[in-house]
Amino acid sequence: MNRLSEEKRALVIRCLLDGNSMRGTARIAQVSRQTVTKLLIDLGPLLADFHDRHMQHLEIQRLELDELWSFIGKKDRNLAPEARGFNNGEGSVWTWLALDPTTKLVPVFMLGDRDTESAIRFAEEIAWRVTSNVEICSDAHEPYVEAIWQAFEGRSHYAQVKKIYGTTPDDRRHRYLKSERRTVYGKPIKDISTSLVERVNLNCRMNMRRYTRKTSGFSRKKHNHWCALQLHFFAYNFVNIHRSIRMTPAMKAGICSDLLDIEDLVQMLKEWENMTAETNPEFSGSSVTMGRL
């Protein structure tokens, strides 16, 4: 089977992480778009496994939660009501994010709908990875209240930021007016905010072409969308040095002591392919299920 050289693989990965589209990456690396897609699909299961093994038993004191909208295939207005939804593979899809504002680590990210079922899955994922009593702040999305209480069984302190939108006498445009902050349960939280996790949302939109608004770079397939998310947050947590802490979030959180780079990722993929080829000669990255999707 023909494979890209390690140098070419590293170039393709860097282009994708810098916000280039699939076709733009193919032009820069001088490979076919199908080759770029296959590399991304092969990386997805590897990085999901890496994330699962390293993001366990975390001692985190505080988390900020938020949801980020994108879509797959078509926007909801171009789909029949029964064809919409994450499970159907088309229409609106929401990326649920949890950020530790101290270490800048994103221990949990998940794709789903913006509903109670997805909120419960998201909260259970956080509770599975975080073992400490934690302060949690989110927006005023109502399903969070029950989902966090059930998942943490009382070992969390939860607060919400409710943003008020409207018009003013001097400006009739519908815009942000103010925020209301309240502790929902647990001990009072001093600094109730979701500003830092919203900055992570901006990183997603800037560094993943699939999330950039008003372009033709949106995802066509749910699995490809999931793989792109795995690559982005692997680089965010383990590769990119965060300017405010001058190291990677994983290093700050004590998860790893060394700085990883794209060449390390290419070697990881090579070892993963060799291992899976030995255990399953028919292995293909695109055939691996999405695990904790």
The average pLDDT across 159-176 equals: 86
10 contacts: CB under 8 Å, gap ≥ 6 = 262, 263, 265, 266
Average pLDDT over residues 67-77: 95
275 contact partners, CB below 8 Å, separation of at least 6: none
How is the chain split into domains, by residue range?
Answer: 6-287
Query: What pLDDT digit, counting tens, does each position of 17-26 carry?
Result: 999 999 999 9
Average pLDDT (268-280) is 81
In whole angstroms, what is the distance from residue 35 CA to residue 85 CA? 29
Q: What is the pLDDT of residue 171?
A: 79
Confidence check: pLDDT of 10 > 90: yes
By mean pLDDT, which of 3-12, 241-250, 255-264, 284-293 is the weakest? 284-293
What CATH topology corresponds to 6-287?
Nucleotidyltransferase; domain 5 (3.30.420)
- Could you tell me the pTM of the whole model? 0.90
pLDDT score, position 279:
64
Q: Please name the residue that has the structure tokens 């530790």.
A: 100
- Given a cut of 80, whether residue 283 has pLDDT beyond it is no
**For range 135-161, the mean pLDDT:** 94
**Over 50: is that where the pLDDT of 96 sits?**
yes
Q: How do 62-72 and 134-139 pair as beta strands? A: parallel
Of residues 47, 78, 22, the one with CA closest to residue 221: 22
Q: Tell me what pLDDT residue 277 has.
A: 66
Q: What's the pLDDT at 280?
A: 58
Span 85-94, pLDDT tens digits: 888 999 999 9
Place of tokens 């221990």: 107
pLDDT of residue 289: 33
Query: In the predicted model, what is the mean pLDDT of residues 222-238?
Result: 97
Structure confidence at residue 267 (pLDDT): 95
What is the SS3 assignment for 252-264? HCCCCCCCCCHHH
What pLDDT score does 136 carry?
Answer: 97
User: pLDDT digits over 257-269, tens only?
Assistant: 999 999 999 999 9
Backbone phi and psi for residue 115, each to the nearest 5 degrees, phi listed first: -140, 180
- DSSP secondary structure letters along the chain: -----HHHHHHHHHHHHTT--HHHHHHHHTS-HHHHHHHHHHHHHHHHHHHHHHS-SB--SEEEEEEEEEEESS-GGGS-GGG-BGGGTBEEEEEEEEE-TTT----EEEEE-SSHHHHHHHHHHHHHHB-S-EEEEEES-THHHHHHHHHHTT-EEEEEEEEEEEEETTEEEEEEEEEEEEEEESSPPSS---HHHHHHHHHHHHH-GGG-TTSS--BSSHHHHHHHHHHHHHIIIIISPBTTTTB-HHHHTTS-SS---HHHHHHHHHHHHHHHHHH-TT--GGGS--TT-
